[in-house]
Amino acid sequence: MARPAKKKKICSLPAYQEFGAGEAAKDKPIVFMPVEEYETIRLMDYHGMNQQECSEQMGVARTTVQALYTAARKRIASCLVEGRPLKITGGDYEICQEDEDCLRSRHCPYRKKGCIKMKIAVTYDNGQIFQHFGKTSEFKVYTVEDNKVVSAEVIGTNGQGHGALAGILQQQAIDTLICGGIGAGAQNALAAAGITLYGGCNGSADEAVEALLAGSLDYNPAVHCNHHGHGEAGHTCGDHGCH
């Protein structure tokens, strides 16, 4: 029986998962990059690690890092030369378990022992993912350590909506949001606040969070607002989050 492949350790999921060349790229096939390939680019090209340092950070052999890095660079090259869109998704990885070796690295975003790994918010309604970000009255907030949910609570939005919601999430130190429909304006506000978005989701909030942590969440990286004609004067879909 073949030995199972060792999962690659990554510090966190990428803040931005999709890139394109505008209208020129809309009819071109998407280049898919696994998350662990992105991690080699982040560590070596962005942070300046060598292959040995990267392999130690990711907990895999140097030859594995070399193969991942070469594949990632080739994907990026095809995007630049052929004008193809890039989507970072999937792979065989696990979120960093915050061991002592990792904590000594200046490149790890989790430098303090015992710090919170992730805080995930989900637009919430009676156990389900609420489908209109700009009108959600509640978020369910999950605290995650060692890639496991250690606590969860439901918080209200105090009647606030649309652009103000990104501020509420930022005040709660949320780094990841799962939701249904969301408009371009709200997406920009989340990006400015450093919050990673997983939109276009539905079903159970709890199950969505578990799927995210397992790397198997079904979401739509191109989610946008389709909510027209609802009687608001001067409404444009880019102004707020809706489905």
pLDDT, averaged in runs of 10, over the chain (243 residues) = 68 83 78 93 87 88 91 93 89 70 49 60 96 92 86 87 80 89 87 84 95 85 57 36 38
Q: What is the pLDDT of residue 203?
A: 96
pLDDT at 131 (0 to 100):
92
Which CATH architecture describes the domain 8-100? Answer: Orthogonal Bundle (1.10)
Contacts of 86 (CB under 8 A, 6+ apart): 18, 19, 20, 30, 31, 33, 75, 76, 79
Q: Do domains 8-100 and 117-214 have the same CATH topology?
A: no
Domain ranges for the chain: 8-100, 117-214
pTM over 0.75: no
* C-alpha span between 113 and 98 (Å, rounded): 8
Reduced to 3 states (helix: H, G, I; strand: E, B; else coil), residue 148 is: strand
Q: What is the pLDDT of residue 117?
A: 66
pLDDT at res. 65: 92
Q: Which CATH number fits domain 117-214: 3.40.50.1220, 3.90.1150.10, 3.30.420.130, 3.40.50.880?
A: 3.30.420.130
Strands 86-88 and 138-145 turn out to be unpaired
